[in-house]
Amino acid sequence: MFEPKEPQKKLKYDELRIYTDEELNNYTEEELKEFKIKYDIPDVEELEKGPWPSFVADAKREALHRRKLPDDRLLIGKYVVEDTLGQLQLSFEHGEGHWKHGGIVGVFGYGGGVIGRYSDCPEKFPDIAHFHTLRVNQPASKFYDTDYLRTLCDLWEFRGSGMFNMHGSTGDIIFLGTITEQLEPIFFELTHVLQQDLGGSGSNLRTPSCCVGKARCEWSCIDTQDLCYELTTYYQDELHRPAFPYKFKFKFDGCPNGCVASIARADMSFIGTWRDDIIIDQEAVQAYINGEIEPNGGAHKGRDWGKFDIYKEVINLCPTRCMWMEDGKLMIDNKECNRCMHCINVMPRALWPGKDTGVSILFGAKAPILEGAQMSVLTVPFMKCEPPYDNIKELIEKVWDWWMEEGKNRERLGELIQRFGLPKFLEVLELPAFPQVVKEPRSNPYIFWKEEDVPGGWQRDINDFRSRHKR
């Protein structure tokens, strides 16, 4: 149904693998129980207790596995995991971290995708003296097959630490820790063998990410994966070669529930929405009222909240009060609905977003550094969202042109909008003002009128004024 831009070979682990089955299963459960890493790490080991999955217990099996691999089956230090745990213990003891500040490393021609990192106590922990990270651009929505994952594991165990983040905060697969020498070889293996690129870091487009969307969610109003993939591949240059004042993020939520939190985390937030009517199955509404179906997809099963009451739980909680019952039927005044998703969330078997769908586009979320945190501002209420997404690309490029022209070093888009004012931003996008862009109109009348707004302009003659008014 959806196709990659360039054909991609199916990856077969058995054809690509580095390690044999014997090498992969090179320790027993008994050995793992007895295993001690080369440092005393009492505080770190404390974290092996308790029911939640222990990252320490996990790290230890990687450590044991590496210990038992022959020296020539690993291209970076054998003790890299043990050294990481050792340094963590030291950090706990000192109450201060032990990584040095930055270090410019990378792969040739790319301005991002690699974060340089060095230990500040390399004599104690030699195998993490260099400990650089690579960001690997995840497939949209993070579905995988095991051939791909196992191949990554072999690659990263052989040429790196074998430690990952699944996933980093922006969505990338993070390869945690390797030496400078291996950065280019890893990049070559990724591109040549896995047909897989790095993600973004630095003052550029960061790796976009999206929610599960239509792959497994009945509420998605847009093809989140397709849009994410298209914009990621279309803007590869912007992603790899920093030319922006600062970072820029796209995130794609299929509906106003916002499962990837685009409204808080993206300079440009795409949120699926609809403009026709909420679809209602009146029989199913009755079934909810009669208590035959659990509300909210069963999300509240763990506690007895009493019998479902459609007034208490839906109609009176509707923020716009646009619903009512009439002759046993649920009615919605759709032109008053602000598409908050509440009723749909409560009755997923009776209500669905409409079919005439598109995206709302919001701009400018950012972290508190420096001027304080911001959420994205509703800027385009509704836009059709269909391949090849030319309308969206045009909008993106208008924004980037302005930001690259006017933005100061390390100024996020949201800060630039504040500095110039929202009216200026609308003007740049060639959009008329509309009431939805604000929560409420301004309460001060300090309007920056422009000269052209005022008949006769601003150039006046004092003598003319004095001809009517004495000094």
Instruction: Using CB under 6 A, list all residues that contact ligand SF4.
Output: 211-213, 217, 219-220, 253-255, 257-259, 318-320, 322-323, 332, 337-344
Instruction: Work out whether 405 is an interface residue with other proteins (CB under 8 A).
Output: no
Site for other proteins in 285-324 (CB under 8 A): 294, 296-303, 305, 313, 317, 319
Tell me which of 37, 129, 260, 332 binds other proteins, using CB under 8 A: 260
The CB-of-310 to ligand SF4 minimum distance in angstroms stands at: 12
Site for ligand HEM in 171-230 (CB under 6 A): 211-212, 216-217
Residue 265 contacts ligand HEM per CB under 6 A: yes
To ligand HEM, the closest distance from the beta carbon of 123 in angstroms equals 21
The option from ligand SF4, other proteins, ligand HEM, none interacting with 192 (CB < 5 to 8 A, set by class) reads other proteins
Nearest of 340, 296, 289, 334 to residue 318 by alpha carbon: 340
99 binds other proteins (CB under 8 A): yes
Q: Exposed (0-12), middle (13-18) or buried (19+): which is 234, by Cβ within 10 Å?
A: middle
Residue the block writes with tokens 């690659």? 155
d(CA 61, CA 334): 56
| Residue type present at position 332 | I
Q: Could you report how far apart the first and last alpha carbons of the chain are, in Å?
A: 80
Does residue number 170 form part of the binding site for ligand HEM (CB under 6 A)? yes
| C-alpha–C-alpha distance, residues 382 and 296, integer Å | 27
The answer to whether 435 contacts other proteins (rule: CB under 8 A) is no
Find the Cα–Cα–Cα–Cα dihedral 85, 86, 87, 92, rounded to 10°: 90
Question: Is 331 a binder of ligand HEM (CB under 6 A)?
Answer: no
Which is closer to other proteins, CB of 168 or CB of 364? 168
For ligand HEM, the binding residue among 24, 75, 375, 429 (CB under 6 A) is 375
**Residue 387 binding other proteins, by CB under 8 A:** no
Q: 7 is written with which tokens?
A: 């054909």
Number of Cβ within 10 Å of residue 190's Cβ equals: 21
Burial profile 3-31: b = 16 or more Cβ within 10 angstroms, e = fewer: eeeeeeeebebeebbebeeebeebeeeee
* Residues lying near ligand HEM in the complex (CB under 6 A): 115, 117, 133, 165, 168-170, 211-212, 216-217, 249, 257-259, 261, 264-265, 345, 365-369, 373-375, 444-445
